[in-house]
Amino acid sequence: MSFDVPSDLYYLESHEWYDPDTGRVGISDFAQDELGDVVFVELPDEGDALEQDDQFGVVESIKAVSDLYSPVSGDVSDTNTDLEDAPELVNDEPFGDGWMLEIEGVDESELDDLLTAEEYREQIE
């Protein structure tokens, strides 16, 4: 099976992605497929400070409950409130309308600790 792995994003081994252009964070196509139908997403509050690799929330599916980890440190500037009423967006568009939060104040040097798209692709194949 082939999964979408956008080349302009960075990834954690735990399957979260980070977009340095928008500051958005979400879970990968591979992760949403492994989880199955997402039924609930718990996210932090705007203004919360996150450290790289800290747990920031939970995603619940019909199969499992999984912790979510922050790919970078920074402050939560926005959360995707659409997921409260439509958590299935995580399955339908994990890199689009299924994004989870936006982080500002990121130290770009932390990107060195993340996987590139190519490295992440190798991990999931």
pLDDT digits (tens, 9 = 90+) for 50-106: 999 999 999 999 999 999 999 999 999 999 999 999 999 999 999 999 999 999 999
State the pTM of this model. Answer: 0.96
pLDDT at residue 38 in the model:
98
pLDDT in tens, 2-55: 899 999 999 999 999 999 999 999 999 999 999 999 999 999 999 999 999 999
Predicted confidence band of residue 108 (pLDDT cuts 50, 70, 90): very high
Whether the predicted pLDDT of 1 surpasses 80: no
Q: Whole-angstrom distance between the N-terminal and C-terminal Cα of the chain?
A: 9
Burial of 104 (0-12, 13-18, 19+ CB in 10 A): exposed
Distance CA 49, CA 35 (A): 27
- Report the pLDDT value the prediction gives residue 71, as an integer from 0 to 100: 98
Query: What value, to the nearest 5°, has the Cα angle with vertex 85 and ends 6 and 7?
Result: 5
What pLDDT shows up at residue 98?
98
